[in-house]
């Protein structure tokens, strides 16, 4: 849990980076969200014609060799490419000159819910068709879920705490929240943290389709992700990465950094209920939100915006709405809530990374990104979901939720300084 004692070090955000289906950098990404632009299209990374779900939020027009050393690009998985580039953006945005910093005081936590699926599938095919001697020696390093964090650490000489977190769709938020812990307990001054995912592959799609978890609205991909809508029928896979640079407030001020906001509160809980279905009473998520509020020293009516997990699945959207009502009481009907997955799709382990970037941009721009495709609201989802059109608002404190298979919950709070 986050230390909320008066002596705890305060943690601030100084850098942002993203790679998504809507934009390969923060400015393009944010402009697309505010415009209500969907990044969901028919899948092109493989032939989806025999799959129940044939659509996804692909990162298109992407050549990793344009963003990183071509040799490193060949040796690493697509998920690592995304995370490495997002981390580089975030470090550049922060103005941090890592060569002049003490590398022992810089750490990296970048997680992935699934890791190197492209490598896993391609090398299994090599094994089956060409035999074990033809399997690449880079297979294991490329597919393991901590390699993105390791590669970023090598790039910046970050010798502090370094690991990847795996907690399904809560991964990105857990990575950022746990990175804040590292700074608060004085194990680092700077942490590069977030999530990355690239699971638009045949095996991943076949597996999720067998669960009947994904939308089959293949004829209208831009409208398929419709959180809180009455006829929502499943999530849409997205891919990409979202990474933040976090620093202690003292360190950021000492180097004259531009500070976006403070990471004020964070909590992680478990439903302890079911391997895939959220707790229908919303107890685990309610506990996470309540603890995050307590750790931030924030009352429910001080939250000005909630970025919902909002996956467009029948269970999640209903149960998340219920959990928000439990925690926020009368304020639940006053606080704007939106699901940006309506535009990006669900980035699994990277979701919390890009949604944390969204929260920071919300504070910076005083603009709420909408929930698009909300044309026929579910009567059980009856909050203000910022339907279809972005909105200007006075925003000082925001909260983001993420939930993962296995019952993992994460809630994180950012506020203006």
Helix, strand, coil percentages for the chain (3-state, nearest 5): 40, 20, 40
Q: What are phi and psi of 288, to 5 degrees?
A: -65, -45
Cα–Cα distance list, 74 to 33, 65, 68, 80, 132 (Å)? 31, 8, 10, 11, 20
Distance CA 318, CA 55 (A): 24
Beta strands 55-56 and 106-111 are unpaired
**Got the DSSP string for 223-267?**
GT--TTBTT---B-BB-EEEEEEEEEHHHHHHTT----EEEEEEE
Which residue in 81, 217, 309, 381 is the catalytic one? 309
Token pair in block for residue 162: 């370094």
Contacts of residue 410, defined as CB under 8 A and 6 or more positions apart, other chains included, come to 167, 170, 173, 174, 177, 266, 267, 268, 288, 352, 401, 402, 403, 404
**Got the DSSP string for 60-83?**
-S--GGGTS-HHHHHHS-HHHHHH
Which residue in 169, 217, 261, 381 is the catalytic one? 169
359 is catalytic: no
169 is catalytic: yes
**Cβ distance 257 to 250 under 8 Å?**
no
309 is catalytic: yes
Cα–Cα distance list, 314 to 75, 92, 318 (Å)? 39, 40, 7
> What positions carry a catalytic annotation?
169, 309, 346
């Amino acid at each position: 849990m986050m230390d909320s004692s008066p002596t705890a070090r305060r943690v601030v955000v100084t850098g942002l980076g993203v790679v998504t289906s809507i934009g390969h950098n923060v400015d393009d990404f944010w402009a697309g969200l505010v415009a209500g632009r969907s990044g969901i299209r028919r899948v092109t990374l493989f032939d989806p014609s025999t799959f129940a779900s044939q659509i996804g939020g692909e990162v298109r027009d992407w050549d990793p060799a344009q963003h990183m050393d071509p040799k490193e690009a060949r040796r690493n998985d697509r998920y690592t490419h995304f995370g490495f580039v997002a981390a580089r953006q975030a470090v550049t945005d922060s103005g941090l000159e890592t060569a002049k910093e003490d590398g022992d005081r810089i750490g990296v936590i970048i997680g992935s819910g699934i890791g190197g699926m492209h490598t896993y599938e391609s090398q299994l095919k090599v094994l089956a068709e060409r035999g074990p001697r033809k399997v690449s020696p880079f297979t294991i390093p490329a597919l393991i879920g901590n390699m993105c964090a390791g590669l970023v650490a090598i790039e910046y000489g970050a010798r502090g705490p370094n690991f990847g977190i795996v907690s399904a769709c809560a991964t990105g938020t857990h990575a950022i929240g746990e990175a804040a812990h590292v700074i608060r307990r004085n194990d680092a001054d700077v942490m590069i943290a977030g999530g990355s995912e690239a699971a638009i592959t045949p095996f991943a799609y076949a597996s999720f389709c067998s669960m009947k978890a994904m939308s089959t609205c293949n004829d209208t991909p831009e409208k398929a992700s419709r959180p809180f809508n009455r006829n929502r029928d499943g999530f849409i896979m997205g891919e990409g990465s979202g990474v933040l640079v976090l620093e202690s407030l003292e360190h950021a001020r000492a180097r004259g950094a531009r500070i976006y906001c403070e990471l004020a509160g964070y909590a992680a809980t478990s439903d302890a209920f079911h391997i895939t279905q959220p707790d229908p009473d919303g107890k685990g998520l309610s506990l996470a939100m309540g603890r995050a509020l307590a750790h931030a020293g924030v009352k429910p009516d001080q939250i000005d915006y909630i970025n919902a997990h909002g996956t467009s699945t029948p269970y999640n959207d209903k149960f998340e709405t219920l959990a928000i009502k439990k925690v926020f009481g009368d304020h639940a009907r006053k606080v704007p809530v939106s699901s940006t997955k309506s535009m990006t799709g669900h980035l699994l382990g990277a979701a919390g990374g890009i949604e944390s970037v969204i929260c920071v941009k919300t504070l910076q721009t005083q603009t709420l990104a909408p929930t698009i495709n909300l044309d026929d609201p579910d009567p059980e989802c009856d909050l203000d979901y910022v339907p279809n059109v972005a909105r200007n608002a006075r925003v000082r404190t925001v909260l983001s939720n993420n939930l993962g298979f296995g019952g993992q919950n994460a809630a994180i709070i950012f506020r203006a300084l």
